[in-house]
Structure 1
């Protein structure tokens, strides 16, 4: 059992977040040597902090191309978010280094946003807000719909998918179908099917929510063929990664009304960048698309929750126990 307490930890990310992370971690581990690195994405080697060579553990949003190669004996890299494909893509984490994520820490806020999207569509909130701006009282917005007893497909029953299914079932009495290759049953899913049955599920669903991780198997999983399977009255929600959804087919599906509408909080490209959808992208102007700025996770509890995931894992690491949320590098 490793009882070391003289570990050096590098904490990297946006400045204000790093400051809060350091405070929370130091509260649980007063003797820990912490190097703050208030940098989200490095621009050059001049930003690399002193003492980087002796770092044992990195807790960060990104893998740093200038800092990481200078660490002499990195043992563990923890990602302060749930996604990890952008870290793997850098090739900067040796395969003998432990790699973990903060999976499960943002399931509640993102699931709340998902249910908000569904209500936004079926209760015609957009039209009501537009009428309010015109000082117009119009009770004839068109017939609203209910979530109760509607078919919801949740693609991926990980932490987030399970939370979406739970809220849909308990809060709104929806009929929930999970699509997952690993989870055989879940108390808040009426049924769970394998990905091979995806097309059939899409044709039956009133709402489809993507909560899958981005992997070689899921990239481009929803293309034109799948979108054309959906009902013209159905809505699609993506809170996973943009690349799971074929962008050209998605744009066509909205413009040509293959589906009634969609909501997205994720885009195509590096998820840690702010400008991930060009200002002149035609998606901005589609009246049946609700876009939020990749901020479904960003509540007042984000830092505390992700810091706790790291701290709990750090206790395991110090005790020589297995870590949770391990990513297996291929």
Structure 2
């Protein structure tokens, strides 16, 4: 008998067809206007008889997993795994697969787009032009700041951080500082990156880019004290997870001039509320969590996640496992 797979995020047709060649597929998608909570209940019901699941952007709780005794594997169409309780999945012997490689370059492109757009005030000035306000030569009140030759500080020099360092050093002649649990010898040798403590990185960098996963240790790692330690001319870029930054502290720092600007692709609560003070700030570029959102990359992520799940259910997955400890359970 074929395994039963629950799909809880829309997939490209060819990827869905591939899954159907290997399993019985149950598609669980939110109805138009359906609240997130209601969809979570529906998804929990669908998981009861499932052997595997594939999707993204939904919190999969231990309570949902407890109702799914047949579940052997989950494949998330993302690199981040903060929507899951890894310890609970591991204890139950459930493999969690993710897609850490295929989105690296596209996400690094997005990060650097935020660097450029905040430094050169691209979004603000584009809207100014569209509003018909451009009546003559611009003056200093509309100037941005240079990116080339500046110092970029990368908090977390993994795959995406390394791709960002390559763009910064080789493309824009930037000095690269980084913090990481382990030294990145390739980045040091190839891009001249220097590993420093977080306090030094914050104090010296013109652009601080956050590229760490969300864990209990990284939640709110950038708060009021850290923001005060940065240059007043500095720009903060966050395209990892919103809760790494204390959003209230960031809003205060941007409002009082402690920080020059911010480029944000992620927020503590998504979608960002329409009354968020961030949306009224001219020195903020806010994007709707588009880090990997290109046609090519999203298709590659879905295909990778589907293959991960097929292999996991067949007992042959040896890559892209977020909780490798499960193999010893």
Please indicate the TM-score interval, normalised by the length of the shorter structure: 0.7 to 0.9
Q: CA deviation at 1:137?
A: 2.6
Distance change >3 Å, CA 322–CA 45, structure 1 → 2: closer
Give the 3-state SS of the residue equivalent to 1:38 in structure 2: coil
Q: 2:298 aligns with which of 298, 303, 309?
A: 303
Q: CA deviation at 1:134?
A: 1.8
Give the 3-state SS of the residue equivalent to 1:178 in structure 2: strand
Q: How does 1:189-228 map to 2 (within 5 A)?
A: 189-193=191-195, 197-228=197-228
Q: CA deviation at 1:79?
A: 1.2
Q: Tell me which residue corresponds to 2:135.
A: 136
| Distance in 1 of aligned mates of 2:46 and 2:252 | 52
**Greater RCO (CA < 8 Å, at least 6 residues apart):** 2
TM-score (structure 1 length as normaliser):
0.82
1:116 is the counterpart of 2:113: yes
1:294 is the counterpart of 2:289: yes
Distance change >3 Å, CA 116–CA 258, structure 1 → 2: same
Aligned length in residues: 314
Give the 3-state SS of the residue equivalent to 1:35 in structure 2: strand
Give the 3-state SS of the residue equivalent to 2:236 in structure 1: strand
Q: Which moved more, 1:313-322 or 1:142-151?
A: 313-322
Contact 2:73 2:309 in 1 (8 A): no
Whichever structure has more helix as a proportion of its residues is 2
Give the 3-state SS of the residue equivalent to 1:301 in structure 2: helix
Distance change >3 Å, CA 76–CA 31, structure 1 → 2: closer
TM-score (structure 2 length as normaliser):
0.83
| Distance in 2 of aligned mates of 1:312 and 1:54 | 21
Q: Tell me which residue corresponds to 1:23.
A: 14
Q: Where does the alignment leave 5 or more consecutive residues of structure 1 unmatched?
A: none
Q: Tell me which residue corresponds to 1:167.
A: 167
Give the 3-state SS of the residue equivalent to 1:296 in structure 2: coil
1:43 is the counterpart of 2:34: no
| Distance in 2 of aligned mates of 1:63 and 1:174 | 38
| Distance in 2 of aligned mates of 1:303 and 1:230 | 35
| Distance in 1 of aligned mates of 2:205 and 2:136 | 33
Q: CA deviation at 1:243?
A: 1.2
Distance change >3 Å, CA 186–CA 137, structure 1 → 2: farther
Contact 1:150 1:175 in 2 (8 A): yes
Q: How does 1:1-330 map to 2 (within 5 A)?
A: 6-13=2-9, 17-18=10-11, 20=12, 23-27=14-18, 30-39=21-30, 41=36, 43=38, 47=42, 53-61=48-56, 62-63=58-59, 68-88=65-85, 95-125=92-122, 126-127=124-125, 129-131=127-129, 133-141=132-140, 143-187=143-187, 188-193=190-195, 197-269=197-269, 273=270, 275=271, 277-314=272-309, 316-317=311-312, 318=314, 320-327=316-323
Give the 3-state SS of the residue equivalent to 2:237 in structure 1: strand
Contact 1:81 1:101 in 2 (8 A): yes
Distance change >3 Å, CA 217–CA 118, structure 1 → 2: same
Post-superposition Cα deviations, 1:259-279, rounded to whole Å, max 9, x if no partner, equal: 11111111113xxx5x3x322
C-alpha RMSD of matched pairs (Å): 3.1
Contact 1:160 1:211 in 2 (8 A): yes
